[in-house]
Every structure is written in structure tokens, then in C-alpha cells.
Amino acid sequence: MAPTPRLSIERVVESAIGVTDSDGFDGLSVSAVASDLAVAPSALYTYCDGVDGLRHLVAIAATRNLTVDLQRAATGIAGGPALVAMSDAYRAFAARHPGQFAATQRPPKRDDGIEAANRSLLEVFALVYLGMGHSSEQSHLAARSTRSALHGFLALEHATGTTDDHDREYRHLLETLQRGLA
């Protein structure tokens, strides 16, 4: 008889994201996901290539999740206000999902999936700059600069510790970017 599969790649990714959210990207392990899904650890090897495969799947899913949030934040807004909204969304994502945020930065291996996910993320920024009258090339450069700067700030903010409120510094960075890209 053909047994109905209890597992699927979707369920594995869903569980892996859940583990990442609760235990951090470093807490992601074959055992933790297997335990969450109530299967033996070795059962996961049918759906992903070990712990590296797990990290890989989470890196792609996390980048997509961030992209969705950014896109949603900029929907119906243009120009400077859109960039402010996206920056706030970026920071909120890092605060609410530190594990996923870390995953967006740790793609262990080169892969089409991750590169495509990163391109999609950059396109959201680029579209805003296009709407502000920049050329296609300038928009892509501006998008990369903006993403890099925001990402770096948030990465260091979470590394240093989130005791202080760095809102003023974050706004300074935003304003610097907007002046520099005007």
C-alpha cells in the first residue's frame, strides 16, 4: 500500500522556520526539526541535505519573507516616504525575527535559489528609485547601497545588543542615504 507521506518539503521548511524563530539560526538543527515534526532525525534526509540543506532552505525562505514585508510596506507609497516605510519594515523584521534576519546573511553555498531571492529583494528597492526618476542603472546601484546600509546597521545593532534605543542613529543613516542619493 502507498502510505500517505507524513512529511513534505513544505512541512520541513515550515518547521525549520519555526525553530529558527524560537531558537535562532544557530539553533537550527536536524534534531530540533525532527523533534518538532515528531519523526526520527534520519527521516529528514529524504527532503533536505542534512543541516546545511536545512540552513539553505531557511535562508531562501527568510529572504522571501523579508521581501514580502518590504513590498507590503511600500505598496501605495512612493519616493522618500516609501523608503522610510521600507526601512521601518526592515528593522521590524530584524527585531521580530532575529533568526530569520541572520539567515538572510548566511547563505553557506552559492545557489540559484538564494541569488534569485536576493535579486527579488533588491528589485523592491529599485522600483522605488525608478519611481523617483532614476535611471535603471542608478536605481540598481541605489538599491544595493540602501539595502547594504540598512542591513549593516541592523546586523550590528543586534550584535552589539539591543539595550539602547538606536532610533536616532537609524534615522541619521536614512537621511544620509536620501541626501546622498538625491
Within residues 45-104, the interface with DNA by CB under 7 A covers 45-46, 50-52
Q: CA-to-CA distance for 102 and 109, rounded, in angstroms?
A: 15
Contacts with DNA by CB under 7 A: the residue count is 20
User: All 3 cell numbers of residue 20?
Assistant: 529558527
Nearest distance from C-beta of residue 59 to DNA, angstroms: 16
Nearer to DNA, 3 or 161 (CB): 3
In this structure, which amino acid lies at residue 84? Answer: V
* DSSP string for residues in 5-23: PS--HHHHHHHHHHHHHHH
Selection from a second copy, DNA, none that 70 binds (CB < 5 to 8 A by kind) is none
Give φ, ψ of 4 to 5 degrees: -65, 125
Residue 61 found at the interface with a second copy (CB under 8 A): no
Q: CA-to-CA distance for 174 and 180, rounded, in angstroms?
A: 10
Whether the Cβ atoms of residue 114 and residue 105 lie closer than 8 Å to each other: no
Among 3, 4, 163, 165, binds a second copy (CB under 8 A): 163
Whether the Cβ atoms of residue 150 and residue 128 lie closer than 8 Å to each other: no
Selection from DNA, a second copy, none that 178 binds (CB < 5 to 8 A by kind) is a second copy
Selection from a second copy, DNA, none that 160 binds (CB < 5 to 8 A by kind) is a second copy
Among 20, 65, 118, 139, binds a second copy (CB under 8 A): 118
Positions that interact with DNA (CB under 7 A)? 2-3, 5-7, 29-32, 38-43, 45-46, 50-52
